[in-house]
Amino acid sequence: MTAKRTGVGFRAILSGTGHCVPAAILTNAELERRVSTTDAWIVERTGIRERRLAAPGEKASDLALVAAQRALDAAGLAPEFLDMILVATVTPDRPMPAVGPTLQAALGARCPALDFSAACAGFVYGLSLARAQIESGQAQHVLLVGVEVLSRRVDFTDRETCILFGDGAGAVVLSAVPAETGRGLLHTRLGADGRFADILRIDADEGVIRMEGREIFRHAVNRLTEVIEAALAETGWSAADVNLVVPHQANLRILEAVAKRIDVPRERIYANLERYGNTSAASIPIALDEARREGRLADGDKVLFAALGAGLVWGAATLVW
């Protein structure tokens, strides 16, 4: 990239994207054999048909490494030029140290690296953190990874949760460009309400996901609608301006309900959750990388990201591709 590290008048573009999912596929038919459910119920209520499962011993940092290498390749950037590595995850390899430094060493990068936890909103929170690094002039290139090995945190006897989640990693490289190019992240808007912490949680003693599905569903539709409308208004866009929405991939019915409320045609909402389920912090960067590789993004396109997750935390971001 040519941008100098002055920080004044710079924006963060997504200069590269990549993803990595484990090879093993867990289908709805297989889940029918494990719990009292049916493929038809899962597809009708969630849109999910299959998800990926990490192999025994396969860690978050293993998936993150491949996704990050693919994003760096796409950006044409060598790891030594990274100024910061941010990893969004609730399923790190171990409590300490973080995935970030493990990934830094595996890539051969030399920059600061850390993990942070914002559950399914991790990628959108990360866009905001990375944008601040770039716009303040502290970083020219930031690697942002969302990675989860949620299958290790799923109770495979709980039919309400075990159908939803999957494993994977997605990564983006954010790079500074002069603001006058008109490209890059224009706005990020975040929110949180910790009063609802208990409706989606992993308690330390139990170690598996517990969830009040209907409550989450209700909050997701309401909060996502609000934050998207706010982000669009603050960017100066209308819903009709948006070429592609790349939302967190939780449930097709949530996406369809939000699309209807914000009045964006369903075909402009990117969805790949039927193949991966909910991969939490990884879902948006996986979807973004697939959308890019499928040719769904052209220079100048207006792109919207939105997510809600455990916390509750949520956010939206607007970007010119």
CA distance 20 to 13: 21
Longest dimension (CA), the chain: 59
Q: Please report how close the Cβ of residue 134 comes to ligand ACO at its closest, in angstroms.
A: 27
- Please tell me which residue in 120, 141, 187, 251 is annotated as part of the active site: 120
The reply to whether 175 sits near ligand ACO by the rule CB under 6 A is: no
278 is catalytic: yes
| CA-wise closest residue to 147 among 9, 44, 52, 27 | 52
Told to judge if 162 belongs to the known catalytic residues of this protein, a careful annotator would answer: no
The nearest distance, CB 146 to ligand ACO, in angstroms, is 13
The site map against ligand ACO for 290-319 (x = CB under 6 A) is ------------------xx----------
If one counts every other C-beta atom within 10 angstroms of the C-beta of residue 207, the result is: 10
In the 8-state DSSP scheme, what is residue 165? Answer: B
- Within 108-242, where are the H helices? 122-135, 159-162, 213-235
Nearest approach in angstroms of CB 312 to ligand ACO is 9
Residue with smaller CB distance to ligand ACO, 112 or 160: 160
Q: What are phi and psi of 313, to 5 degrees?
A: -135, 150
Per CB under 6 A, 164 contacts ligand ACO = yes
Q: Tell me, what DSSP letter sits at residue 194?
A: G
200 binds ligand ACO (CB under 6 A): yes
Site for ligand ACO in 238-257 (CB under 6 A): 248, 250-251
Q: What is the identity of the amino acid at 306?
A: A
Stretch that binds ligand ACO, among 87-95, 110-118, 208-216, 255-263 (CB under 6 A): 208-216
Q: Tokens at residue 104, please?
A: 């830094």
CA distance 23 to 52: 7
Query: What is the number of H-type helices and E-type strands within the chain?
Result: 10, 13
Site pattern 112..151 for ligand ACO (x: CB under 6 A): --------x-------------------------------
Q: Which of 28, 111, 219, 278 is catalytic?
A: 278
- Helices 283-293, 60-75: crossing angle, 10 deg rounding: 40
- Residue with smaller CB distance to ligand ACO, 58 or 160: 160
Of 164, 207, 167, the closest CA to residue 58 belongs to 167
Q: Of 5-24, which residues contact ligand ACO (CB under 6 A)? A: none
What's the alpha-carbon Rg for the chain, to the nearest Å?
Answer: 18
**Minimal distance, residue 48 CB to ligand ACO, in Å:** 9
Among 137, 152, 202, 217, binds ligand ACO (CB under 6 A): 217
Q: Which of residues 36-65 bind ligand ACO (CB under 6 A)?
A: 37, 41-42, 45-46
152 part of the interface to ligand ACO, by CB under 6 A:
no
Residue 193 near residue 312 (C-beta atoms within 8 A): yes
Which single residue is written with the structure tokens 């591709």? 321
Interaction site with ligand ACO (CB under 6 A): 37, 41-42, 45-46, 120, 159-160, 163-164, 200, 211, 213-214, 216-217, 220, 248, 250-251, 278, 308-309
Active site residues: 120, 248, 278
